[in-house]
């Protein structure tokens, strides 16, 4: 039978790095809070032992009710792991010890892993590990997980702990007299009821706080036990005694929490030595720049501009090479199909439909993602992303939304489906829904090629070389800022209507600035993000290629179904400054936004399959010949920014919310905004011009 090892700790202490090193898996790691909000697990063999290692969500405490804390606490309490490894940050041990002490109340078989000793050394911080072990009565070891130092010893201690060997001398927490007296009164009856199945001290503490989750759990598990009625009678009697003395559940919770904090402070003072009290001076100096009211926003915009400029400049050439290779291979496949006398009715839908769509999606998506994601990950590892959330927190607070929504917006730049999933880091269900419903206002990697192409053709094509890329990037940043503005507006609208409520408080940790590990960043961003997002797009886009081909090649009275649809949509599309071809391209592009432009070109040229034009000058001429103006180009950009989510994102929203109603609202909200803004802009432009 596998030994279950729980991996616990505060956010951003290197827990996922240790998990990856022990299991060989690729749980995402980064320099910001809240990435692990569900239970990931992997396996590790050591001698005769086989460990199932469970990576718990990072949390600061087990006493409150955030999603992360509930998941971690319930696993530790109800799943009875054989051993718990509590990972701590050597540079801020006091805060981490608060969680260590709480876990000791639940699981006596623990190992304290003091990680990031390399950073502590740089900051001239020394942790006396032996003394900490003596005080706590459990094994303590130091590690530098990024370099793999200390992990072999950690594995050895895991084996000892999971074998239920006796630790040195586990020291129980001593609470104020009123709490200890209450625990003493309930100890015998609680032990009689739960036997050795549950940690009795922690059980009593949660009952004193009248925690409904624990009360229900005890009832469901033991209500048929003959001791249960006696247990409840004792509990109710004690509860009345405490209330008469003025101790409410919230008061008891405060006393318990304060006990942990004071104990952590005392222990930290005795085992931590700081030779340089100003060790974080550089971080604070950088924070004064990055989070300043004056410089914070300009620097944030500058970073965006830099990332998109590099992405636009670097993606064009590899994109054209990949496109040429894939479409050359298509020609080869066609030749072979003809050579082997395969019927056109078989190979044309597959090659001109499915394959061509896949080739386009890969050639358009892969290069910019392979550039964007490593740059984004570098900022993440550097520690800048939480500063973005800090800068935008006041804006979201005014909209009665969570500042953590800024982090989900950042994820949305790569893929809106990832941004929707990332909303799990937001504790409040109301605020999480707001983040999910508004994430589509941030343009994803699939929409960038369309927006960039339109910007380059109509606003930056007269310039040359890098200047074109810079102007395109600058206009793209303005478009993104407008999307962020719409996120604020719709968040405020939702908070005042279907999702009424006040913004909740949350802890936003500003982690220390760290030098990114460039090699690991590139590998992680390519495999964990770029290829993952690309694979999802390919899976959804493949069947759409067949549908598009059928629409373009099945004729009724010598007119294709596609042309019938575009003619039907044209009068309505003209009202919003587009045409039927553009609107139909967006509808058929629901599986993947990358194929909107190819569908549009295919329809304009009356071709039977997706059409590629690499020369933007030729493409611009084609668009103008089909009635495009500057107004059309602007509306195309606006509607690309604000329309229904792609199929992958819709499925993700349905999965995350568990509700068809919220999924439909996530589709309707950006679409209505896009239609309204395009209509208003078109009417005003027609009056002026």
Looking at residue 9, its pLDDT comes to 92
Q: Each residue of 255-290: pLDDT tens digit?
A: 988 999 999 999 999 999 988 777 778 888 999 999
**Is 545's pLDDT higher than 60?**
yes
Q: Note whether residue 322 is domain-resident.
A: yes
Looking at residue 223, its pLDDT comes to 83
Q: Note whether residue 507 is domain-resident.
A: no
**114 touches 272 (CB < 8 A):** no
Q: Note whether residue 370 is domain-resident.
A: yes
**Is 624's pLDDT higher than 50?**
yes
Same-domain pairing of 58 and 145: yes
**583 touches 601 (CB < 8 A):** no
Same-domain pairing of 268 and 313: no
37 is in an annotated binding site: yes
- The mean pLDDT of 511-531, rounded to a whole number, is 80
Rounded CA gap, 416 and 427, in Å?
20
pTM of the shown model: 0.75
Looking at residue 126, its pLDDT comes to 94
Q: How many domains does the chain contain in total? A: 3
**207 touches 214 (CB < 8 A):** yes
143 is in an annotated binding site: no
Q: Note whether residue 282 is domain-resident.
A: no
Cα 498 to chain center, whole Å? Answer: 24
Looking at residue 31, its pLDDT comes to 41
For the ranges 390-404, 550-564, 637-651, the maximum mean pLDDT occurs at: 637-651
Q: How far is CA 161 from CA 118, 140, 452, 564, in A?
A: 26, 12, 56, 71
Going by pLDDT thresholds of 50, 70 and 90, the confidence category of residue 420 is very high
Q: Each residue of 78-95: pLDDT tens digit?
A: 888 889 999 999 999 999
User: Residue 25's domain is classified under what CATH number?
Assistant: 3.40.50.300
Same-domain pairing of 402 and 305: yes
Looking at residue 573, its pLDDT comes to 96
Going by pLDDT thresholds of 50, 70 and 90, the confidence category of residue 614 is low
10 is in an annotated binding site: yes
- 573 vs 29: which has the higher pLDDT: 573
511 is in an annotated binding site: no
As separate numbers, helices (DSSP H) first and strands (DSSP E) second, the chain gives: 30, 10
Same-domain pairing of 120 and 185: no
Same-domain pairing of 545 and 457: yes
Looking at residue 578, its pLDDT comes to 95
**Is 676's pLDDT higher than 50?**
yes
**Angle at which helices 249-271 and 93-106 pack, to 10 degrees?**
120
- The mean pLDDT of 309-338, rounded to a whole number, is 87
331 is in an annotated binding site: no
**109 touches 82 (CB < 8 A):** yes
Query: In the structure encoding, which two tokens stand for residue 244, read together?
Result: 């008469």
Same-domain pairing of 474 and 374: yes
Q: Which residues pair with residue 556 across a beta bridge? A: 559
Same-domain pairing of 138 and 236: no
Angle at 57 between CA 52 and CA 58, to 5 degrees: 120
- 167 vs 362: which has the higher pLDDT: 362
Rounded CA gap, 102 and 256, in Å?
10
56 is in an annotated binding site: yes
674 is in an annotated binding site: no
Same-domain pairing of 221 and 338: no
The region of weakest confidence among 147-161, 198-212, 336-350, 496-510 is 496-510
34 is in an annotated binding site: yes
User: Which residue in 279, 296, 278 sits closest to 287, CA to CA?
Assistant: 296
- 469 vs 27: which has the higher pLDDT: 469
Q: Each residue of 588-608: pLDDT tens digit?
A: 888 888 788 888 888 888 776
User: Which residue in 366, 357, 418, 372 sits closest to 592, CA to CA?
Assistant: 357
Q: Which of 244, 274, 304 is the last residue of a domain?
A: 274
For the ranges 165-169, 222-226, 586-590, 660-664, the maximum mean pLDDT occurs at: 660-664
**Is 66's pLDDT higher than 70?**
no
12 is in an annotated binding site: yes
**381 touches 12 (CB < 8 A):** no
Give just the sign of the alpha carbon dihedral 77, 82, 88, 90.
positive
Looking at residue 100, its pLDDT comes to 94
**Is 444's pLDDT higher than 80?**
yes
% of the chain surpassing 70 pLDDT: 92
SS3 content of the chain, % helix, strand, coil (to 5): 65, 5, 25
Q: Note whether residue 665 is domain-resident.
A: yes
100 is in an annotated binding site: no
Looking at residue 30, its pLDDT comes to 45
Looking at residue 654, its pLDDT comes to 94
User: Residue 259's domain is classified under what CATH number?
Assistant: 1.10.287
- The mean pLDDT of 604-623, rounded to a whole number, is 76
User: Which residue in 48, 59, 52, 47 sits closest to 15, CA to CA?
Assistant: 59
55 is in an annotated binding site: yes
Same-domain pairing of 61 and 195: no
Is residue 643 classed as helix, strand or coil in its secondary structure?
coil
Helices (H), 245-295: 249-271, 281-290
Q: Which of 136, 162, 188 is the last residue of a domain?
A: 162
Residues 6+ apart with CB under 8 A from 658: none
| Residue with token string 């992303």 | 385
Same-domain pairing of 458 and 498: yes
Same-domain pairing of 109 and 239: no
Same-domain pairing of 21 and 143: yes
The region of weakest confidence among 465-474, 654-663, 674-683 is 465-474
Is residue 546 classed as helix, strand or coil in its secondary structure?
helix
Please spell the DSSP secondary structure of 173-206, one letter per residue.
PPPPHHHHHHHHHHHHHHHHHHTTSS-HHHHHHH
Neighbouring C-beta atoms of residue 559, cutoff 10 Å: 10
Looking at residue 376, its pLDDT comes to 82
Looking at residue 35, its pLDDT comes to 46
Burial class of 279 by CB neighbour count within 10 A (0 to 12, 13 to 18, 19+): middle
Looking at residue 64, its pLDDT comes to 66
**Is 677's pLDDT higher than 60?**
yes
The region of weakest confidence among 70-84, 248-262, 463-477 is 463-477
Q: Note whether residue 516 is domain-resident.
A: no
Q: Which of 162, 188, 214 is the last residue of a domain?
A: 162
Query: In the structure encoding, which two tokens stand for residue 212, read together?
Result: 């409904």
Please spell the DSSP secondary structure of 212-223, one letter per residue.
HHHHHHHHHHHT
Q: Which residues pair with residue 144 across a beta bridge? A: 149
By residue range, what is the domain housing residue 20?
3-162
Looking at residue 26, its pLDDT comes to 56
58 is in an annotated binding site: yes
Cα 392 to chain center, whole Å? Answer: 17
Mean pLDDT of the chain: 85
Going by pLDDT thresholds of 50, 70 and 90, the confidence category of residue 649 is very high
23 is in an annotated binding site: yes
21 is in an annotated binding site: yes
φ, ψ (nearest 5 deg) of residue 270: -90, -15
Rounded CA gap, 409 and 570, in Å?
33
Residues 6+ apart with CB under 8 A from 414: 369, 372, 373, 376, 444, 445, 529, 533
**325 touches 360 (CB < 8 A):** no
Q: Note whether residue 285 is domain-resident.
A: no
666 is in an annotated binding site: no
Looking at residue 400, its pLDDT comes to 87
Going by pLDDT thresholds of 50, 70 and 90, the confidence category of residue 584 is very high
Looking at residue 600, its pLDDT comes to 87
The region of weakest confidence among 166-175, 282-291, 480-489 is 166-175
Please spell the DSSP secondary structure of 219-249, one letter per residue.
HHHHTTSTTHHHHHHHHHHHHHHHHHTT--H
115 is in an annotated binding site: yes
User: Which residue in 448, 449, 470 sits closest to 459, CA to CA?
Assistant: 470
Integer Rg of the chain from CA: 29
Q: Note whether residue 515 is domain-resident.
A: no
**Is 213's pLDDT higher than 90?**
no
Residues 6+ apart with CB under 8 A from 167: 108, 109, 137, 138, 139, 161
Rounded CA gap, 346 and 571, in Å?
36
42 is in an annotated binding site: no
Looking at residue 200, its pLDDT comes to 80
14 is in an annotated binding site: yes
């Amino acid at each position: 039978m596998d030994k279950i090892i729980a991996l616990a700790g505060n956010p951003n202490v290197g827990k996922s790095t240790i998990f990856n090193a022990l299991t060989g898996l690729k749980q995402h790691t980064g320099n910001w809070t809240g990435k692990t909000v569900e239970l990931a697990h992997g396996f590790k063999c050591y001698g005769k032992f086989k460990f199932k290692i469970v990576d718990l969500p990072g949390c600061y405490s087990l006493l409150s009710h955030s999603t992360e804390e509930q998941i971690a606490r319930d696993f530790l309490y109800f799943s009875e792991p054989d051993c718990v490894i509590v990972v701590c940050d050597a540079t801020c041990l006091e805060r981490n010890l608060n969680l260590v002490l709480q876990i000791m109340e639940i699981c006596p078989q623990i190992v304290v892993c003091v990680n990031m000793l390399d950073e502590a050394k740089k900051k001239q911080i020394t942790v006396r590990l032996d003394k900490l072990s003596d005080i706590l009565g459990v094994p303590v070891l130091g590690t530098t997980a990024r370099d793999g130092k200390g992990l072999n010893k950690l594995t050895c201690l895991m084996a000892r702990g999971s074998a239920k060997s006796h630790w040195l001398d586990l020291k129980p927490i001593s609470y104020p007299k009123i709490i200890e007296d209450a625990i003493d009164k309930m100890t015998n009856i609680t032990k009689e009821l739960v036997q050795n199945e549950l940690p009795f001290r922690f059980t009593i503490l949660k009952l004193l706080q009248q925690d409904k989750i624990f009360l229900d759990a005890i009832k469901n598990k033991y209500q048929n036990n003959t001791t249960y009625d006696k247990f409840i009678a004792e509990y109710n009697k004690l509860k009345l005694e405490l209330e008469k003395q003025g101790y409410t559940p919230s008061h008891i919770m405060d006393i318990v929490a304060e006990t942990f904090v004071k104990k952590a402070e005392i222990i930290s003072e005795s085992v931590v030595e700081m030779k340089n009290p100003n060790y974080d001076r550089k971080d604070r100096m950088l924070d004064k720049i990055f989070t300043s009211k004056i410089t914070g926003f300009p620097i944030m915009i500058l970073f965006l501009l830099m990332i998109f400029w590099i992405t636009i400049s670097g993606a064009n050439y590899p994109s054209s090479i990949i496109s040429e290779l894939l479409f050359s291979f298509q020609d080869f496949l066609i030749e072979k199909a003809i050579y082997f006398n395969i019927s056109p009715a078989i190979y044309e839908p597959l090659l001109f439909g499915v394959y061509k769509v896949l080739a386009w999606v890969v050639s358009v998506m892969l290069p910019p993602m392979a550039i964007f994601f490593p740059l984004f990950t570098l900022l993440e590892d550097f520690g800048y992303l939480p500063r973005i959330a800090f800068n935008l927190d006041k804006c979201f607070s005014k909209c009665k939304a969570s500042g953590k929504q800024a982090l989900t917006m950042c994820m949305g730049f790569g893929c809106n489906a990832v941004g929707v999933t990332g909303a799990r880091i937001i504790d409040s269900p109301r605020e999480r829904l707001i983040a999910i419903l508004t994430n589509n206002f941030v343009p994803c990697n699939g929409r960038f090629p369309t927006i960039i192409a339109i910007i380059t053709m109509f606003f930056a094509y007269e310039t040359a070389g890098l200047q074109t890329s810079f102007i395109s990037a600058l206009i793209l940043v303005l478009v993104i800022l407008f999307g962020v503005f719409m996120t604020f507006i719709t968040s405020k609208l939702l908070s005042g209507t279907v999702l009424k409520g006040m913004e909740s408080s949350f802890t936003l940790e500003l982690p220390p600035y760290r030098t990114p590990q460039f090699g690991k960043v590139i590998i992680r961003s390519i495999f964990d993000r770029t290829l993952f997002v690309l694979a999802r797009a390919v899976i959804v886009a493949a069947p759409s290629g067949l549908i598009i081909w059928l629409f373009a090649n099945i004729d009724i009275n010598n007119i294709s179904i596609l042309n019938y649809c575009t003619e039907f949509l044209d009068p309505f599309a003209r009202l919003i400054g587009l045409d039927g071809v553009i609107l139909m391209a967006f509808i058929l592009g629901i599986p993947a936004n990358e194929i909107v432009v190819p569908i549009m070109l295919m329809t304009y040229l009356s071709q039977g399959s997706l059409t590629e034009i690499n020369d933007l000058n030729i493409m611009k001429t084609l668009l103008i010949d089909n009635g495009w103006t500057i107004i059309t180009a602007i509306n195309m950009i606006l509607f690309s920014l604000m329309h229904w989510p792609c199929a992958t994102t819709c499925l993700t929203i349905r999965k995350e919310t568990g509700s068809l109603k919220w999924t439909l609202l996530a589709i309707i909200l950006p679409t209505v905004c896009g239609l309204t803004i395009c209509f208003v802009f078109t009417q005003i432009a027609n009056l002026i011009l």
